[in-house]
């Protein structure tokens, strides 16, 4: 399996709206904490260390 780079979310605007709605009443520190928890939850769901390493490298650019 390789990292999927093409758009893969059926409703990206809806997801972005959900994300911003979830953080709307949070201060900056709490929103950052929530983002960190979300990353860890999704990383656990992916589970593949190779894919996660590719994603980390891409995010660090």
Q: Tell me if 22 is assigned to some domain.
A: no
Residue with tokens 């590719």: 54
Using alpha carbons, select from 61, 55, 44, 42 the residue that is nearest to residue 1. 55
Round the average pLDDT of the chain to a whole number and report it.
Answer: 98
Q: Mean per-residue pLDDT for 39-46? A: 98
Q: Tell me if 41 is assigned to some domain.
A: yes
Report the pLDDT value the prediction gives residue 41, as an integer from 0 to 100. 99
Instruction: Tally the domains of the chain.
Output: 1
Q: Tell me if 46 is assigned to some domain.
A: yes
Q: Mean per-residue pLDDT for 18-26? A: 98
Q: Tell me if 51 is assigned to some domain.
A: yes
Say if residues 3 and 51 touch (Cβ distance below 8 Å): yes
Look at residue 25 and tell me whether its pLDDT is greater than 90: yes
User: Helix count (H) and strand count (E) of the chain?
Assistant: 3, 0
Q: Mean per-residue pLDDT for 10-39? A: 98
Domain enclosing residue 37, as ranges: 28-61
Q: Tell me if 36 is assigned to some domain.
A: yes
Using a 10 angstrom Cβ sphere, with 0-12 exposed, 13-18 middle and 19 or more buried, the burial of residue 23 is middle
Report the pLDDT value the prediction gives residue 1, as an integer from 0 to 100. 83
Q: Tell me if 32 is assigned to some domain.
A: yes
Q: Tell me if 54 is assigned to some domain.
A: yes
């Amino acid at each position: 399996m390789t990292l999927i780079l093409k758009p893969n979310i059926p409703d990206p605007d809806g997801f972005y709206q959900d994300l911003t709605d979830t953080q709307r009443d949070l201060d900056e520190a709490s929103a950052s904490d929530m983002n960190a928890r979300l990353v860890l939850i999704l990383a656990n769901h992916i589970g593949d260390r190779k894919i996660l390493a590719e994603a980390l490298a891409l995010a660090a650019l």
